[in-house]
Amino acid sequence: MTKDEAAASTDARRVLVVDDSRAQRRILGSYLRQWGYVVEEAESGGEAIDICHRNLPELVVSDWMMPGMSGPEFCRAVRGMNNDNYVYFILLTSKSGKEEIALGLDAGADDFLTKPVNSAELRARMAAGMRILDMEHELLAKNRLVRATLDELQALYDSLDNDLVEANKLQQSLLSERYRDLGPAEVSLSLHSSGHVGGDLVGMFPISDSRVGLYGLDVSGHGISSALMTARLAGYLSATVPEHNLALHEIAPGRFAARPPAETVSRLNHVFLSDLETEHYFTIALADVDLATGRVILAQAGHPHPAVQRADGSVEFVGEGGLPVGLIEGASFDQVEFTLAPGDRLLIHSDGITECADPDGCMLGDTGLAAIMRHLRQTHGPAFLESLMWKLSDHAGEARFTDDISAVLLEFRPMPQSG
């Protein structure tokens, strides 16, 4: 193969031969060209450095002893160049001692040939170098593919992340208001997802001028599918479209009355199992509160027991437990009744509160929640819910929670002080 034919070959390897002996360069160059390599020559380390800066070769065969810059010094300079492509470096030497070999390896040499050079040994060493370079090129190609794939995945992640941020805004919009003054009582609501979106939802809806419905629900699982389910359930307990609210029934054009909470939960169970093809289920606590008398009718379906804090600070938990919604067709649900007096309050909360674990894995539980409520007995409204979140952070030892956290707080105003 001629030099021009080798240069034209796409598979030809570029080799730089560095030796201060013209005869030695011609001998080595002749062998290499015969074997299909494209050969450049340099008579010193300085000249070789200039060639490398212009066009870095794939392989270098360099003498050890040269005036000005030795072979190991030239090798170290090549290794210091900022280039992605690896250069396979062979040092020619008459030295065979271990210290000299260690010096060459420390400079970055890959292999050694003893002078005078044997053509068969040179060819074998070059073939070994090409195998190393082939593997290096294959690795670079795979790394480029991995980087390109990671870039695509990052772009997809960024797009998904942006969508989830918007989804979070939409989910938070389901909580149309976080505080309402109802006259004799006030309602505060809080919703915090452990991720971008979650499966918790709290809400309220008017029943009449003196009655209000409150609920907290928790769809099984986390993420997008759970969040979509909460959006669907929010429609079934709508505060703005009473004809779509399963907790209400029309008794006259434009006039609605409340169904018993247990009946509403049963209807939700039927709709969930018959109309929605899903593996999800959900828990719920649904309360019908009479603001005039303080009478509360509560249905609990697998949701944590709501907490009632009396005006004296004592805390009790109410409800019958019950099955979650969406597990068994025709399941029945119970309800309880109790009365809230002036100064009392009702907290409907998700299990993200009572199951919040400390660093040792110990859950807060009803006992821990009661202790927090007693500690915060003088804190009311949104400030109470915000303080509750801080207390949970202290208990967990971090600000980020592993489960969604939601709560609705109804507080009856205390009796006015007599003058």
Q: Are residues 189 and 307 part of one domain? A: yes
Q: Which strand (E) or helix (H) includes residue 166?
A: helix 119-174
User: For residue 80, what is the domain's CATH number?
Assistant: 3.40.50.2300
In this structure, is residue 294 part of a structural domain? Answer: yes
Q: Are residues 192 and 136 part of one domain? A: no
In this structure, is residue 188 part of a structural domain? Answer: yes
- pLDDT per position in the chain (419 positions), as tens? 444 443 434 367 899 999 999 999 999 999 999 999 999 999 999 999 999 999 999 999 999 999 889 999 999 999 998 887 899 999 998 866 678 888 888 999 999 998 889 999 999 999 999 999 999 888 888 988 999 998 888 888 777 666 556 656 665 566 668 899 999 999 999 988 776 666 788 999 999 999 999 999 999 877 777 878 888 888 899 888 999 999 999 988 888 999 999 999 999 999 988 877 778 899 999 999 999 999 999 999 999 999 999 999 999 999 988 999 999 998 999 999 999 999 999 999 999 999 999 999 999 999 999 999 999 999 999 999 999 999 999 999 876 788 889 999 999 999 776 54
pLDDT of residue 170: 65
pTM of the predicted protein model: 0.64
pLDDT of residue 289: 97
Domain boundary among 127, 143, 159: 143
End-to-end CA distance of the chain: 115
Instruction: Report how many domains make up the chain.
Output: 2
Q: Are residues 272 and 123 part of one domain? A: no
* CB proximity list for 226: less than 8 A, separation 6 or greater: 197, 198, 199, 219, 220, 280
pLDDT of residue 161: 64
In this structure, is residue 168 part of a structural domain? Answer: no
Q: Are residues 280 and 179 part of one domain? A: yes
pLDDT of residue 307: 98
Q: Are residues 349 and 399 part of one domain? A: yes
pLDDT of residue 2: 46
- 266 and 334 in contact (C-beta within 8 Å)? no
Q: Are residues 187 and 108 part of one domain? A: no
In this structure, is residue 160 part of a structural domain? Answer: no
Q: Are residues 128 and 14 part of one domain? A: yes
H helix runs in 190-294, sequence order: 224-236, 261-275
Domain boundary among 96, 125, 143: 143
In this structure, is residue 170 part of a structural domain? Answer: no
Q: Are residues 391 and 331 part of one domain? A: yes
Q: Are residues 75 and 221 part of one domain? A: no
In this structure, is residue 226 part of a structural domain? Answer: yes
Q: Are residues 110 and 191 part of one domain? A: no
pLDDT of residue 234: 87
Domain boundary among 143, 159, 184: 143
Please give the structure tokens belonging to residue 173. 């919009």
Q: Are residues 388 and 281 part of one domain? A: yes
In this structure, is residue 153 part of a structural domain? Answer: no
Task: Return the HEC string of 301-335.
Answer: EECCCCEEECCCCCEEECCCCCCCECCCCCCCCCE
Q: Are residues 367 and 278 part of one domain? A: yes
- The pair phi, psi for residue 237, each rounded to 5°, is -125, 40
User: For residue 391, what is the domain's CATH number?
Assistant: 3.60.40.10
pLDDT of residue 165: 61
- Domain extent, residue 82, equals 3-143
In this structure, is residue 90 part of a structural domain? Answer: yes
